[in-house]
Chains A and B, each alone.
Chain A
Amino acid sequence: MADGIVTLTSANFDETIKSSATPILVDFWAEWCGPCKAMNPVLAEIAKEQSGKVIIAKLNVDEHGDIAQRFSVMSIPTMMLFSGGEMKKKMIGAKGKPQLLAEIAEFIPTKS
C-alpha cells in the first residue's frame, strides 16, 4: 500500500473490514472497466487528503468475484463504505471527488 490504498482479496476482506477502527471505502473495480480507471486519481487524492479519517481500499472483482457476488455487485465501479464492520452505504457508478466526499461525509469523523 505504497500509495495509501489497501488491496483487498477474498482472503483478507472479512478480517480487514471487521478489524478496522477507521471507516473503509471499498472500490470494486476491474482492469477492463474504463470508468473504474477514471476513479483512480480521485481515490488517490481522497486517500491522501483524508488520511487517518477514511481508509481507501480496492477489490478486483475479476479476481475476487466471490466478494463481489456476496454484495450483489452488478455494475462497476461500485463503492461501498464500511464502518464498524458493516456496510453503511453503496454507491454505483463513477463520480467526481466532490460528490463522492459529500456522499460519505456523514460516516467520516469531522476534523478534531
Chain B
Amino acid sequence: MSTIETTPQKVIIIGSGPAGLTAAIYTARANLAPLVIEGEPSSTSDQPGGQLMLTTEVENFPGFPEGVMGPDLMMKFREQAARFNTTFITEKVTKVDFSQRPFAVWVRDTKYTADSIIVSTGAQSIMLGLENESRFYGHGLSTCATCDGFFFRGQEIAVVGGGDSAIEEATFLTKFASKVTIVHRRDSLRASKIMQDRARNNPKIEFKWNSQVTEIIGANKLEGIGLVDTVTGATSKMAVTGLFVAIGHRPNTDLFKNVLDMQANGYLLTRPGSSYTNIDGVFACGDVQDHIYRQAITAAGSGCMAAIDCERWLEAQH
C-alpha cells in the first residue's frame, strides 16, 4: 500500500475527550491550527468525545449549575475548538513514529507529520474477559447503560463494579429495570459518598457483595450469570436478562508501547507538574496519564497545560 503524504502540521492532537479538545482550543487560539485525530464512532468509551459520550447528566462540571448531558458537553467542547481553526479527522491513529522530527502519525495509509504531538487518547472500560463475552454484546450484555437501559424496562438486571461509574449506571438503570443488583468483588464501594447514598436509598437497588462474575449463561440471549464468592469460594447463579459492566478503565496506550515511557499499569508517565513525556515535543494529558483523578475537569485542566507546554516548547525551537 502506498503512503499518502499530507501537509506538515505544527501540532497534532491524538484523542478528543475533555483533555484533547481543551488542548485544541488553547493551541488553536495560539494560532497553531491544530489537527485533531479524534477517533472513530464506537459503542465503547474509545470514541470521539471519550467517556462522557456514554454518560447522562454531568453534575460536577463547573459552569453548569443545572447539570449538562455528557454528549452535549462534549459537543460544545468540539464546537468551541472548531470555532478557532481546528481541523478534525474522524478516524483512529494506527501507527506512530516519534523517533525523529517531524513526528509521524498514520491513519491506515495516510501519513500526517507535525513538529509536536499532544497525546490525549484517554482510557476505556475494561470488560470481564470471559470466554463467551463477545457473543452476548447486544444480546443482554452492554457497554453503554445510557444507550441500552431502555430495552430492559421491567426486567431484572445486574451491574458489575463498585466505583462511581458502576453506581451511576445502576442508579440510571433503575429508571427502566424493576431491580438492579450491583455485583461487587469486595464488601464495600469505592464510589463517592454522594453516589453511594443515592444507591443505598434506592429501593430498586440491591447489592451482591464479595462476588465475581465467572460466567454468562444463555442460549441466544443473556439469561443469567454465574458467580463465585470471593471469600468462601462458593458458586451460585443469578437470573438476569441484562448485564452492564463498569469494573474500571485501562489507558489507550497500545499505540505508544516501547515509544513513550509508561507505568506498569500502562498509564503514560509525564514529568511531575507538567505534560512533558520522555520525548521532547510529545506531550500527554487527560486520563491517558492520570489514573488518580480521572475527572472531566482535571482532564480539561491537563489539556490546557499540554497546550501551553507545547506552545512554549515550539517557540523555544526557533
Interface residues, chain A, with chain B CB atoms under 8 Å away: 30, 32-39, 41-42, 61-62, 68, 72-78, 92-99
Contacts and interface: CB of A to CB of B under 8 A. Distances in A.
Given A75-B142, A93-B137, A93-B138, A38 B41 contact: yes
Interface residues of B, number: 31
7 nearest A-B residue pairs (beta carbon): A96-B40, A92-B138, A93-B43, A75-B138, A94-B41, A34-B71, A38-B41
B140 A35 contact: no
A73 B147 contact: no
Contacts of A73: 151
Contacts of A78: 138
A7 B91 CA distance: 27
Interface stretch (B46-54, B182-190, B191-199, B278-286): B46-54
A35 B137 contact: no
Contact of B42 (A37, A62, A93): A93
B90 interface: yes
Contacts of B138: 74-75, 78, 92-93
Nearest to A38: B41
Interface of B: 40-43, 47-49, 53-56, 70-71, 90-92, 108, 137-140, 142-144, 146-148, 150-151, 221, 242
Given A42-B41, A93-B42, 4 more contacts: A33-B144, A74-B151, A75-B139, A96-B42
Nearest to B42: A94
A91 to B, nearest CB: 9
A94 B71 CA distance: 15
A27 to B, nearest CB: 11
Nearest to B53: A34
B148 A76 contact: yes
B147 A96 contact: no
A34 B146 contact: yes
